[in-house]
């Protein structure tokens, strides 16, 4: 299963590009599932009326097939939020009764900020397990929100791992005593069971995001603002080790216009696009002269070269270079395209490294060999951050002494 996540700066046309990509792939015989979490449902205006009734693809995810042969699934984050909170209340009914609380009814629940991202991630996990699809195309939120959402499963799992273990052991030991004193089952059991269930689901989502078959495509309308957005987007993706397959230069104006203003704007777009093409595959989509309005316009865009994704290459892990014999250090090589020295920061904390690159941060677990070392320096050159680790002689007494004598 190939999963293609499509995002970009707000207003760049990522929904249109996602729909055109799905249609182009279906035209080549691929079995495509197009997933969107946009409340306004802009896909309906692009893909037209479905060819039939929606059907359940997997439990919790329904899709309808369009005339172009693409199955389209839309995420209802409000329904997802209500179902989850009602289920949580049911599992905690004993505790709620003890404190005299009245449960909320499903009809009076409104989703909270952030519910859309959680619902989309759960739908992504379900879509990846859906039978009968070769390609899942996901219309992600705008770039910064998409990067935050994709980093969320690993972050939340780290929080659970840090916060629960010691408390879980204490709760298990005290639960029988507390239950006898209070005369009712204690809430610790359902609380930790819920946490275990969340961790299991987060792990499943994280596995999809980190799979070799998942990659990202960025959509932008070329120009100075887009160039900076793409630079930061590439940086954020690299920090999370998410592969970027291509950039879609959208709404390109034709060259050679008689209008000086249009000619200048087209030249500016071409310069920006050429800069991207020097570093990444670029797919060009022409401006239709209007906003795409329906299946006919979508057909025109789907005919562009390069929209159908190729099978992704295996991901590359951050390499550890062994320079013990030459310099007495190990070097962790972290590719960060577009990074600037003033935007970088790193802190060693236990067996983890806190990396900051521009507006993005990642807490990365250290490889086992580096956990026995201390950070002794770092340098950024040619879009690669090289972090130097000096072995601790107390932890590497024989190997370190033998290789540096």
Please give the distance of CA 381 from its chain centroid, rounded to a whole number.
Answer: 27
Residues 125 and 241 reside in one and the same domain: yes
Residue 396's pLDDT band (cuts 50, 70, 90): low
pLDDT of residue 208: 95
- CA–CA dist 184, 168 (Å, integer): 19
Q: Is 101 a domain residue?
A: no
Please give the distance of CA 238 from its chain centroid, rounded to a whole number.
Answer: 12
Q: Is 99 a domain residue?
A: no
Q: Is 174 a domain residue?
A: no
**Which range (78-92, 117-131, 362-376) has the least confidence?**
78-92
| Domain end call among 302, 329, 354 | 302
Residues 255 and 385 reside in one and the same domain: no
Helix (H, G, I), strand (E, B) or coil at 387: strand
Number of domains comprising the chain = 2
pLDDT, mean of residues 36-57: 76
| Domain end call among 302, 334, 366 | 302
pLDDT score of 100 more than 80: no
pLDDT score of 9 more than 80: yes
Residues 298 and 210 reside in one and the same domain: yes
pLDDT score of 224 more than 80: yes
Q: Is 176 a domain residue?
A: no
Residue 341's pLDDT band (cuts 50, 70, 90): very high
Domain with 268, as residue range(s), is 2-79+108-167+202-302
pLDDT score of 175 more than 60: no
Residues 330 and 297 reside in one and the same domain: no
User: Are the C-beta atoms of 4 and 245 separated by less than 8 Å?
Assistant: yes
- CA–CA dist 213, 311 (Å, integer): 7
| Of 399 and 226, the one with more pLDDT | 226
pLDDT of residue 405: 33
User: Are the C-beta atoms of 56 and 71 separated by less than 8 Å?
Assistant: no
pLDDT of residue 250: 96
Q: Is 100 a domain residue?
A: no
Going by their DSSP bridges, the two strands 55-58 and 135-139 should be labelled as unpaired
**Tens digits of residue pLDDT in 185-216:** 544 565 667 777 888 888 999 999 999 999 99
| Of 113 and 150, the one with more pLDDT | 150
What residues are paired with 61 via a beta bridge? 58
**Tens digits of residue pLDDT in 260-273:** 999 999 999 999 99
- CA–CA dist 304, 283 (Å, integer): 8
pTM value surpassing 0.75: yes
User: Are the C-beta atoms of 116 and 148 separated by less than 8 Å?
Assistant: no
**Tens digits of residue pLDDT in 270-303:** 999 999 998 899 999 999 988 898 889 999 999 9
Beta strands in 193-340 (DSSP E): 214-220, 244-252, 282-286, 320-323, 329-335
Residues 9 and 64 reside in one and the same domain: yes
**Which range (13-27, 145-159, 218-232, 383-397) has the least confidence?**
383-397
Residue 116's pLDDT band (cuts 50, 70, 90): confident
Q: Is 103 a domain residue?
A: no
Residues 138 and 258 reside in one and the same domain: yes
Instruction: List, as one string, the DSSP characters of 4-20.
Output: EEEE-STTS-HHHHHHH
Helix (H, G, I), strand (E, B) or coil at 319: coil
Q: At what angle do helices 224-239 and 143-163 cross, to 10 degrees?
A: 20
Residues 295 and 325 reside in one and the same domain: no
- CA–CA dist 341, 358 (Å, integer): 9
Q: Is 307 a domain residue?
A: no
CATH of the domain at 330: 2.60.40.790
User: Are the C-beta atoms of 142 and 8 separated by less than 8 Å?
Assistant: yes
| Of 366 and 177, the one with more pLDDT | 366
Helix (H) or strand (E) holding 267: helix 260-277
Beta strands in 295-383 (DSSP E): 320-323, 329-335, 344-349, 352-357, 360-365, 373-381
Helix (H, G, I), strand (E, B) or coil at 182: helix
| Of 385 and 94, the one with more pLDDT | 385
Residues contacting residue 288 through CB under 8 Å, at least 6 positions apart? 297, 300, 301
pLDDT of residue 399: 46
| Domain end call among 270, 302, 334 | 302
Q: Is 179 a domain residue?
A: no
Residues 354 and 270 reside in one and the same domain: no
Residues 70 and 32 reside in one and the same domain: yes
- CA–CA dist 80, 402 (Å, integer): 59
Residues 385 and 355 reside in one and the same domain: yes
Residues 12 and 141 reside in one and the same domain: yes
pLDDT score of 161 more than 70: yes
Residues 71 and 138 reside in one and the same domain: yes
CATH of the domain at 114: 3.40.50.300
């Amino acid at each position: 299963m190939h999963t293609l996540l499509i995002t970009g700066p707000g207003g760049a046309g990522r929904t249109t590009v996602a729909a055109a990509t799905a249609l182009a792939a279906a035209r080549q015989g691929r079995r495509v599932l197009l997933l969107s979490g946009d409340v306004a449902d802009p896909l309906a205006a692009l893909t037209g009326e479905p060819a039939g009734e929606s059907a359940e693809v997997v439990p919790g995810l329904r899709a309808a097939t369009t005339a172009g042969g693409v199955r389209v699934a839309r995420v209802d984050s409000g329904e997802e939020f209500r179902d989850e909170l009602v289920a949580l209340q049911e599992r905690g009914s004993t505790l709620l009764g003890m404190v005299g609380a009245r449960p909320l009814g499903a009809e009076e629940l409104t989703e909270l900020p952030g519910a859309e991202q959680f619902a989309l991630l759960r739908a992504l996990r379900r879509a990846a397990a859906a039978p009968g699809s070769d390609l899942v195309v996901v219309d992600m939120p705008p770039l910064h929100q998409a990067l935050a959402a994709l980093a969320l499963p690993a972050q939340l799992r780290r929080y659970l791992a840090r916060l629960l273990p010691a408390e879980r052991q204490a709760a298990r030991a005290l639960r029988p005593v507390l239950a006898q004193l209070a005369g009712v089952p204690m809430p610790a059991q359902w609380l930790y069971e819920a946490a275990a269930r969340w961790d299991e689901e987060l792990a499943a989502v994280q596995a999809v995001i980190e799979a070799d078959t998942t990659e990202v495509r960025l959509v932008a309308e070329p120009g100075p603002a887009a160039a900076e957005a793409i630079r930061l987007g590439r940086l954020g993706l690299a920090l999370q080790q998410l592969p970027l397959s291509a950039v879609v230069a959208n709404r390109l104006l034709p060259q050679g216009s008689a209008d000086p203003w249009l000619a200048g704007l087209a030249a500016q777009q071409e310069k920006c696009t050429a800069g991207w093409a020097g570093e990444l595959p670029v797919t060009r989509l022409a401006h239709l002269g209007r906003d795409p309005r329906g299946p006919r316009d979508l057909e025109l865009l789907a005919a562009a070269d390069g929209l159908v994704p190729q099978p992704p290459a295996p991901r590359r892990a951050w390499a550890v270079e062994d320079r013990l014999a030459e310099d007495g250090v190990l070097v962790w090589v972290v590719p960060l395209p577009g990074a600037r020295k003033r935007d970088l920061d790193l802190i060693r904390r236990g067996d983890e490294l806190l990396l900051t690159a521009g507006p993005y941060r990642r807490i990365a677990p250290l490889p086992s060999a580096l956990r026995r070392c201390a950070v002794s320096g770092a340098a950024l050159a040619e879009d690669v951050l090289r972090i130097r680790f000096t072995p601790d002689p107390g932890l590497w007494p024989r190997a370190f002494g033998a290789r540096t004598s």
